[in-house]
Amino acid sequence: MWAKHKRIFLIVFAVLFLAMLFVIKDPSMVTSLFKKGNENQTPNQEGLTYRTTTIGELVSKDTDGDGIADWEETLWGTDPTKTETTPGTRDDVTISKLRAEQEASTPGTSDTSQDTENLTQTDQFSRELFSTIVATTQSGAMDQATVDKITDSLAEKVQNVAPKKVFVMSDLKIVNKNDVQAFVTYNTALTAVYQKYKMDYTVLDVLQKFIIDENNVDVTVLKELNPIITNTNKMIDALVKISVPSSVSAIHLSVINSLERLVENLSAIKLFDTDVIVALGGISQYEKNAAKLESDSNNLANAINQKLKN
């Protein structure tokens, strides 16, 4: 059933769910997430809102007062500002007829495993959201507990993104040499890697072009992240292969894993137009992981400099 009605669920997603996400997808919010010096900024601490409208109000809003919520009128193609989209026929009558026709033409209600496994995270969440909204609107107005449940579910998906790949010590080429010459060789190799894969522009340069103004973004610009992702992956491969003095192997490994986290974040951000849940996860994690990489790189540089001074 889900495969047959995927478009319907995505319409609901576009009308309702994206409205809920407005405060997160608002370019000014994206700007703040990538702006240095705002580590303590917590966007929308009081829950998801669309401008000054709560999720519950969005779900329950009935502009024309005909008993059919605006989001559902959009789903069925009726005008939420008119009680009779077709003159002489009330919208609730039209929608009842459409519901009956749909049920008659779609026997069976079970989803197949193939339907489910082919869904993006955004598809999955929109389906869950649709089911929640239908259940709550049928039983009455959406209460605060349900709003909190939706908000918490979204926050969980966006904020807790598990890494896809984690490098371990056995992946490195560690040498049991920690004398000055070993560190000179190691430092020279590191410098060569960074110089070879250095980019002429940064992630922030791309994101500044991505954000057109406070109300618009240019998703096509995100393709410029591709060379950064490619070069960073090559850098990671090179860092795994160079000989690392055992005394700095833990810091070296941390640098590699921080680079890997950033690559995963950037790959996720590129999906802004097709899988917004994944993209928002990348955005929410990027600043933290960039700060972690900077810290790890500084620690490694300090350890090398300390050794070379001796």
pLDDT in tens, the chain (310 residues): 333 333 443 434 433 444 444 333 344 444 444 443 333 333 333 333 444 445 556 666 788 888 887 767 766 778 888 999 989 999 889 888 877 776 665 555 444 444 555 677 766 766 666 666 666 655 555 566 666 666 666 666 666 677 889 999 999 999 999 999 999 999 999 999 999 999 999 988 898 888 776 667 788 999 999 999 999 999 999 999 999 999 999 999 999 999 999 999 999 999 888 887 788 788 878 888 999 999 999 999 999 999 988 7
Q: Which of 150, 161, 133 is nearest to 277 (CA)?
A: 161
Last residue of a domain, one of 119, 137, 157: 157
Same domain, 124 and 179: no
Number of H helices, E strands in the chain: 15, 6
**Residue 255 shares a structural domain with residue 199:** yes
CB 286 within 8 A of CB 33: yes
Give 130's strand partners.
none
**Domain that includes residue 294, residue range:** 169-309
Asked if the structure places residue 18 within a domain, the reply is: yes
Domain end (from 157, 179, 203)? 157
* Residue 60 near residue 142, CB atoms below 8 Å: yes
* 22 domain-assigned: yes
Same structural domain, 153 and 261 = no
Tell me, yes or no, whether 255 and 186 share the same domain.
Answer: yes
**Three-state DSSP class for residue 89:** strand
Co-location of 173 and 269 in the same domain: yes
Q: Is residue 215 classed as helix, strand or coil in its secondary structure? A: coil
153 in the same domain as 10: yes
Task: Clarify whether residues 24 and 151 are in a common domain.
Answer: yes
- Tell me, what's the pLDDT at 33? 41
132 and 150 Cβ atoms separated by less than 8 Å: yes
Q: What pLDDT was estimated at residue 163?
A: 85
Question: Does one domain contain both 19 and 101?
Answer: yes
CB 244 within 8 A of CB 183: no
Pairing status of strand 49-50 against strand 216-217: unpaired
Residue 205 neighbours by CB under 8 Å, 6+ apart: none
Domain-embedded: residue 36:
yes
Same domain, 177 and 41: no
Q: Are residues 218 and 301 in the same domain?
A: yes
End-to-end C-alpha distance for the chain, whole angstroms: 70
- Both 300 and 186 in a single domain? yes
146 and 246 in a single domain? The answer is no
Nearest-angstrom CA–CA distance, 194 and 197: 6
Token pair, residue 237, equals 């491969």
Q: How far apart are CA 8 and CA 260, in angstroms?
A: 37
Counted domains in the chain: 2
Is residue 174 one of the residues assigned to a domain? yes
Cα separation of 173 and 231, whole Å? 21
Last residue of a domain, one of 126, 157, 188: 157
Query: What is the structure's pLDDT at 223?
Result: 95
Residue 69 within any structural domain of the chain: yes
Q: Evaluate whether residue 162 is within a structural domain.
A: no
